[in-house]
Chains A and B, each alone.
Chain A
């Protein structure tokens, strides 16, 4: 112990450690400072969680379109606590946005932005913008469907800026298309540029806070100030612990979503932004065509400008709520507007397809892949990779080509399978592989459903689409039974010319066995 205190004394004599620490901790806190004043510390604690979880994520993440998705899939399936670390980081982002807005509202309500604290307020507003930039750039990194399409929308919003839009978008995008260069750039921003700016601004924000002192309640309370440590620090710590416990519970019970891998050719995906951008997303709907920049640039720009100028718009020295009825009411109207827009956006946002759901093609693909032609090599420990291991990283085209001609890959190392699969089967196998890649466990399907899926994938998928997979020559049959009954479907599949003489679809009466015909018609008649 004596040795320890001698070491501390030596360090203190060389560095001024004790004086520095007591300067940090002994700040006099005015009487009346209560739980409302813990929001800044909560925010700081949450940012700390993001920094350390982000650090671990970088150990596994690869910022290239080829590997980003697989590296995250690997993290959440094969790394101890990997899924939890990602969930903490994912939900932590939402917690931060909530805490930052709550902190801003508290400062606004208490009039703490007034002279002489204008610069503290401005650095705070800038910090909020940095936080939103973190959220936006982080959203792209998993390179899944959500990431890709939400970022496409974000870039198009930037493009809609008058005059400079095209240039801004191409700088953000790193070229003309959303791709490898965009991902590297957003990754660099997310892990180097933004953290640096964040650190600088936090230091400035805290230094300014210390320079001017805590503003305290709008109407000062009687009583002597107490040192920050431990009297206010204990409140901060309790608040941080409660929020941390909540975040941890959310991260343990909820899973950070990971959609299917980004597919730039998918025309059916409907993107939706993260909840804190939903208000802006909703606003866009009210300003179509040429008016669009009002929603994308003017309204948000004006909001930021108003926030930055607030200390000069509301200059009276009195901080009490009574004396600032107009300012509080205007703030309330803006806040309420944002809240309503967010709720409307939430209600209007399209239901995103569940990546864990297996469309019939994927079910059929699994049945095809269990065929001896595939399973001879693709077994655990076999020459080819186990198809159920989720470590299969090739894209659709590779899979369909390989299924069509297995000799093309690793020619000569084994006897090629007899009898080849056709294109519909190859596409079904690709759909199956994609579900496995997404970590979706195969559903419990009845034998009839599997048989119907096989019939669909073999005979129908060339022209018809169901749940996003199939051809486009015929109509989409995802909801085939919404307009047609079983009788109609049966007749049409048997011989379309009985209903429509000009029908281009061939008759399947002779191509399908009676059983297959019944199975596929029953299946379609249940799709509502």
Chain B
């Protein structure tokens, strides 16, 4: 009986040793590979000041649709994006609105006749100052930081 008991203990001890060794290798590999897999998700996007247009070309009180060219890192590439912002001037102040609808991320367009920003996807309507006027959007359009330097309007995107 004693022999069976010893054999049983030995088996249990060896099984544990195997589990510990394989577990260690598994943990090391999971850390290294897991780190490499989640890594790109941990980097933050950096905003830049981008020139939009000369201040003098912007009429007071009129909303203007502006296309800006930005570059961002796209993994191993440097991607060039064209983004749309809406600029409104009042005196020496310029405000800018993002064109991304706060509902599901489509791009809104300026309807000059009705003087509203409309989303083509689900019928969201925003005022010229970005406030929700109709449709499903939950909140106002994001405003974009602006700066005037040497007679040019810069936006931070």
Contacts and interface: CB of A to CB of B under 8 A. Distances in A.
Given A85-B36, A237-B21, A230 B29 contact: no
By secondary structure, the B interface counts as: helix
A67 B14 CA distance: 49
Given A67-B77, A234-B17, A240 B25 contact: yes
A70 B18 contact: no
A73 B76 contact: yes
Contacts of A85: 32-33, 36
Interface string A356-389: 0000000000000000000000000100010000
A523 interface: no
A102 B25 CA distance: 23
A79 B36 contact: yes
Contacts of A229: 15
B113 interface: no
A75 B14 CA distance: 40
A36 interface: no
Contacts of A244: 25
Contacts of A35: none
Give the interface residue-count category, chain B. Answer: 20 to 34
A242 B157 CA distance: 52
A261 to B, nearest CB: 12
A231 B14 contact: yes
Max chain A C-beta neighbours (<10 A), residue from B22, B37, B48: B37
Contacts of A78: 39, 43
For the residues of A in contact with B, the DSSP-based class is helix
Given A70-B76, A70-B77, A85-B32, A237 B37 contact: no
Contacts of A59: 36-37
Interface residues of A, number: 38
B22 A237 contact: yes
A233 interface: yes
Contact of B39 (A53, A55, A81): A81
A163 to B, nearest CB: 43
Contacts of A60: 75-76
A237 B17 contact: yes
Given A73-B76, A241-B24, A56 B14 contact: no
Contacts of B15: 229-230
B48 A381 contact: yes
A183 B33 CA distance: 25
Nearest to B69: A413
Contact of A385 (B11, B17, B78): B78
B32 A84 contact: yes
A240 B38 CA distance: 28
13 contacts: A52-B33, A56-B33, A56-B37, A70-B77, A74-B75, A79-B40, A81-B32, A81-B35, A229-B15, A238-B21, A241-B24, A381-B48, A385-B71
Interface of A: 49, 52-53, 55-56, 59-60, 62, 67, 70-71, 73-75, 78-82, 84-85, 88, 229-231, 233-234, 237-238, 240-241, 244, 248, 381, 385, 391, 393, 413
Given A70-B77, A237-B18, 19 more contacts: A56-B36, A60-B75, A74-B75, A78-B39, A80-B38, A81-B33, A81-B35, A81-B39, A85-B32, A229-B15, A230-B15, A233-B14, A233-B18, A234-B14, A234-B17, A237-B22, A240-B21, A244-B25, A385-B71
